[in-house]
Amino acid sequence: MRRTGVARRAFVLSAAGLLAAMTTAGDAVASPSGRRKGGGLPEAAGEVRGMWIATVANIDWPSKPGLTAAKQEAELFAYLDRAVELRLNTAVFQVRPTADALWPSPYEPWADCLTGTQGKDPGWDPLGTAVRAAHDRSLELHAWFNPYRVANHTDPSRLTASHPARKHPDWVVPYGGKLYYNPGL
pLDDT the model gives residue 45 = 75
Number of folded domains in the chain?
Answer: 2
Convert the pLDDT of each residue in 117-148 to its tens digit: 999 999 999 999 999 999 999 999 999 999 99
pLDDT tens-digit series, residues 99-109: 999 999 999 99
Identify the domain containing residue 154 by its residue range.
149-185
- Assess whether 136 and 84 both reside in one domain: yes
Do the strands 140-145 and 90-96 form a parallel or antiparallel pair, or are they unpaired?
Answer: parallel
Four-CA torsion 81, 84, 2, 151, nearest 10 degrees = 100
2 in a structural domain = no
Domain presence at residue 25:
yes
Cα(78)–Cα(53) distance, rounded to whole angstroms? 11
Burial of 154 (0-12, 13-18, 19+ CB in 10 A): middle
Whether residues 118 and 165 share a domain: the answer is: no
pLDDT of residue 46: 83
Whether 59 and 131 share a structural domain: yes
On whether residue 181 sits in a domain, the answer given is yes
Predicted confidence (pLDDT) per residue in 22-63, tens digit: 223 333 333 333 434 444 456 667 899 999 999 999 999 999
